[in-house]
Copies of this chain bind each other. A is one copy, B any other.
């Protein structure tokens, strides 16, 4: 699991796949809050390990299409990668919107007024919580799987 977490933490971005009501997928790039080099104030907050499960937090605009898609189907996949090293992690699981103001507050970063002009109480500021059900990794010349679907 240490290698899985290390690849996640080193990924430049997080790639999120969501599915619409017609079963069509879409991929969007998210700020990779679990990367402590990019978000040093979020180290230990944006990524948490509970056994074989990873909890991760991301931010997006409430008005974005991906929020609408997640409300309709909370099953998502996230991909993290080091393309030049041929390393990648696919984390499958569910994504939920966080409405808890204290948690949203604790994850707020000063520069984000660029995305949410009204600050941490901007109604367009959404925090998404991801809970993994399966983690698949490609590194060290082979696949590695943690967890599994019911």
Give the interface of A toward B (CB within 8 A).
12-13, 15, 17-19, 22-29, 73, 75-79, 81, 83-84, 88, 90, 92, 138, 149
In the assembled complex, how far is the CB of residue A132 from the closest CB belonging to chain B, in whole angstroms?
12
- Name the distance in Å between A28's Cβ and chain B's nearest Cβ: 7
Q: Is the CB of B12 within 8 A of A17?
A: no
For the complex of A and B, the 5 pairs showing the least CB-CB separation, nearest first, are A12-B83, A17-B17, A17-B25, A27-B79, A24-B75
Residue of B nearest to A138 (CB): B29
Beyond the given A25-B77, A29-B83, please list 7 additional residue pairs across the A-B interface where CB-CB is below 8 A. Answer: A13-B81, A17-B17, A24-B149, A26-B77, A26-B90, A27-B77, A83-B83
How many copies of this chain are found per oligomer? 2
CA distance A23 to B81 in the complex (A): 24
B-side contacts of A18, CB under 8 Å: 25
A140 to chain B, nearest CB (A): 15
Interface contact B75-A22, CB-CB below 8 Å: yes
**CB distance A23 to B19 under 8 Å?**
yes
Q: How far is the CA of A84 from the CA of B12 in the complex (A)?
A: 7
Report chain B residues within 8 Å CB of A27: 15, 17, 27, 77-79, 90
For A89, give the chain B residue with the smallest CB separation: B27
The distance in angstroms between the C-alpha atoms of A149 and B88, with both chains bound, is 30
Contacts of A26 in B (CB 8 A): 17, 77, 90, 92
